Structures are given as C-alpha cells and as structure tokens.
Amino acid sequence: MNNIIRDCGEIWNRLFDHRPFLNGEILYFQEEFEVKRSDREITKLFEVLEYVTEIRDSQIDKVKALSETDLSGCQTKLSAALSSCETILNEEQKYNIDANLELKREIRESDWERFQSEMKVKYSNVDHTFNEKEEELSEFYSDLKKKLHLDDTPISRIE
C-alpha cells in the first residue's frame, strides 16, 4: 500500500508539478537576455546619450543661426506668394461678378420671354372676345332690323 501511495504521489508530481520545466525555461530566458546580448541595450543607450549631448552642445546653435538667416528669406518668399494668391483671388472675383451678371441677364431674358408669351395669350383672348362681341352685336342688329322690317332700301328724301 505504501508503494501505491508513493506511486500516486510520483504520478501527481509528474502531471501537476511543472517546476523542473519552468526552471529550465527561466534559465533559458535569463541566458537569452543577459548572456547572449552582452549588454547591447546599455551600449545603445550610451550611444544615444552621446548623440543627444552632441546635438545639444553644438547643433542647436547652428540651427538657430541658420534659421535667423534663412527664415527671413523664406518669410519674404511666403509674403510674395501670399500677395500673388490674393491677386489671383481678386481676378477670380471679377470673373465671378461677370458670371453673376450673365446669370442675371439670362434670368431677365427668360422673364421677358415669359412676359411676351403671356401678353400674346392675353391679346389673343381680347381679340377672341372682341370677335364674339362683334358677332353678337351684328346678330342683335340684324334681328332688330328684321323686327322693325327695315330693308336695305334707302330712304328717299322728300323734296
């Protein structure tokens, strides 16, 4: 029975105790990052520190001097470009005004054509009404002549 318990303990240790495997992985990880790299990160950090110190000590003054000389020329060129852009925009606005005038002219022409067509319709209505009234009056007078028995014979003068 004692052997069975010992065997069960050994099986349990093999299944659930991962310390030997983890110790091997930890040693491999430690070797990978400490031994093989041999302080490459520290060397790189010192190189970056030297580079930054060199820039701070010498390059900043050079950049200031160059910016004072070159940026003034750049400023004048930018001012000239800005004035050119403003000139172009002003010219474009002149053409836009012409386009607006043309648009309003077209609107006025379409209004005038519509007005003329409306007037033609009204004239034709007036002519039609006039013709109807003329016919009515001629019928009225012809009926009146018939009722009064008037002929077309002229009345003779008494002499």
pLDDT at 131: 95
Q: Where are the domains of the chain?
A: 1-39
- CA–CA dist 109, 107 (Å, integer): 5
pLDDT for 75-89, tens place per residue?
Answer: 888 999 999 999 988
Q: 29: pLDDT confidence band, cut at 50, 70 and 90?
A: confident
Work out the average pLDDT over 70-74. 82
What would the 3-class secondary structure string for the chain be? CHHHHHHHHHHHHHHHCCHHHHHHHHHHHHHHHHHCCCCHHHHHHHHHHHHHHHHHHHHHHHHHHHHHHHHHHHHHHHHHHHHHHHHHHHHHHHHHHHHHHHHHHHHHHHHHHHHHHHHHHHHHHHHHHHHHHHHHHHHHHHHHHHHHCCCCCCCCCCC
Q: pTM higher than 0.85 for the full model?
A: no
